[in-house]
Amino acid sequence: MTALYPLKFKPIFKDKIWGGQKINTVLGKDFSPLPNCGETWEISGVEGNLSEVAEGALAGKNLKALIQTYKGELVGAHVYRQFGDEFPLLVKFIDANDDLSIQVHPDDALAQKRHHSFGKTEMWYIFQADEGARLITGFNQPMSREKYLEYFEEGRLMEILNQEEVHADDVFFLPAGRVHTIGKGLLLAEIQQTSDITYRIYDFDRKDAQGNTRELHVEEALDAIDFQYYDQYKTQYEAKTNEPATLVSCPYFVTNRLAYTENTKRNYQDLDSFIIYVCLEGDLEIVCGGKGYPVQKGDAYLIPAHMQQVELLTRSGYKMLESYVP
């Protein structure tokens, strides 16, 4: 059996009505022949969109086949017991050249009941933001199902949604059930549960090239929405240098920010999970088992669970997301 190593996958590019050019111009990923690119799926176990290894002895193998072969050695015994051959996380970059639809995702219970799927809790790390760029997350006032429906039916939905001005390095955690949208001018990294279930609530009456509007899921969304009002939606964290900063810790994933100007070692002996690195800035080399793997901005790597000692070497410094299943 071929020995496992840090795995980089071929990006899966998604043409979207709201997509732009930043996947290429900022991240350096060539998505031709698509006219634009709204999303690049970097690590995916979603059926029909299975990531394939880009480099090395396992090149061309898809993620599901790898899990079936290597099981806990790849994902961790604890993770394999919980999820079997399903990879539990989906990693994307998203470029919003226009506002995305206002939407919501179901939680595990509703997604299982309706779609035999995981729910979708996610987080966003803002990679780049045009001046004045905004997003929507949650409500801006105490809310109930009845009050929401009243505003929705009167065409006043935007009046009750919480809008946030956004800057690079901002973080937003979006548990399943939170109404949200990514606004025009944002490039972000997304870590989420493996799910492609979206209930579209409102799409600004947009039409595609054929003059068609996109399907809405107004009724389905009602049972998914968390109507709770929160006074803080942006994730607060301390931007540390040369030590990890925890951004999100939830039952589905933990994500840390690694901003280092010096070489470091990461010890994962106490974890029983794969590690995902997403490079946001700079350059570095991942060293495992005595071999080095170069990493640059926009790269995502899957570190097999059995690789418990990882060296991160850098000349100029880097900023990276580190995610795993707790």
Nearest CA to 7 out of 77, 60, 78 is that of: 60
Task: Spell 280-298 as b/e; 16+ CB within 10 A means b.
Answer: bbbbbbbbbeeeebebebb
Cα gap 309→301, rounded to integer Å: 15
The answer to whether the beta carbons of residues 137 and 178 sit under 8 Å apart is yes
What backbone torsions phi and psi does residue 7 show, to the nearest 5 degrees? -105, 125
Nearest CA to 123 out of 191, 182, 225 is that of: 191
Bridge partners for 172 per DSSP: 124, 234
Cα gap 278→297, rounded to integer Å: 8
3-state class of 122 per DSSP?
strand
One-letter amino acid of 280: L
DSSP state, residue 160 = G
Q: Residues 117, 12, 293, 90: what is their CA dihedral angle, to the nearest 10 degrees?
A: -20
In sequence order, the 6+-apart residues with CB closer than 8 A to the CB of 261 are 241, 242, 314, 317
E strands along 106-160, which residues?
122-129, 134-139
- Active-site amino acid positions: 200
